[in-house]
């Protein structure tokens, strides 16, 4: 017997109020797991320049580092 059949068989034996709770939970799970799948199927294009000016490179970026830096004494 498959999973769906087992769930159906057990659910039939429960009171109506509990069956409604199960239905609400199943609908919650369906909405939770079906929405991200639908969004991820649509590829988005990247757009350059959205964060222009947010990062600034230091003026001495290419300057050699001192021996103290490499030896861990700085």
User: Cα–Cα distance between 39 and 32 in angstroms, integer?
Assistant: 12
What local confidence, expressed as pLDDT, does residue 18 receive?
A: 94
- Say whether pTM exceeds 0.85: no
What share of the chain in percent tops pLDDT 90? 49
Contact 74, 68 (CB under 8 A): yes
Residues 66/74, Cβ–Cβ less than 8 Å: yes
Please count the residues of the chain.
74
* Each residue's pLDDT tens digit, 52-65: 888 888 999 999 98
Higher pLDDT, 74 or 22: 22
Dist. CA 7–CA 1, nearest whole Å? 10
Domain extents for the chain?
1-47
**Residue 66 φ then ψ, to 5°:** -70, 160
């Amino acid at each position: 017997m498959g999973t769906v059949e087992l769930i159906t068989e057990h659910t039939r034996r429960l009171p109506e109020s509990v069956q409604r709770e199960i239905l609400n939970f199943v609908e919650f799970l369906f909405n939770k797991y079906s929405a991200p799948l639908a969004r991820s199927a649509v590829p988005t294009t990247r757009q350059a320049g959205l964060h222009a000016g947010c990062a600034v490179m230091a003026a001495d970026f290419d300057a050699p580092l001192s021996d103290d830096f490499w030896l861990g004494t700085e």
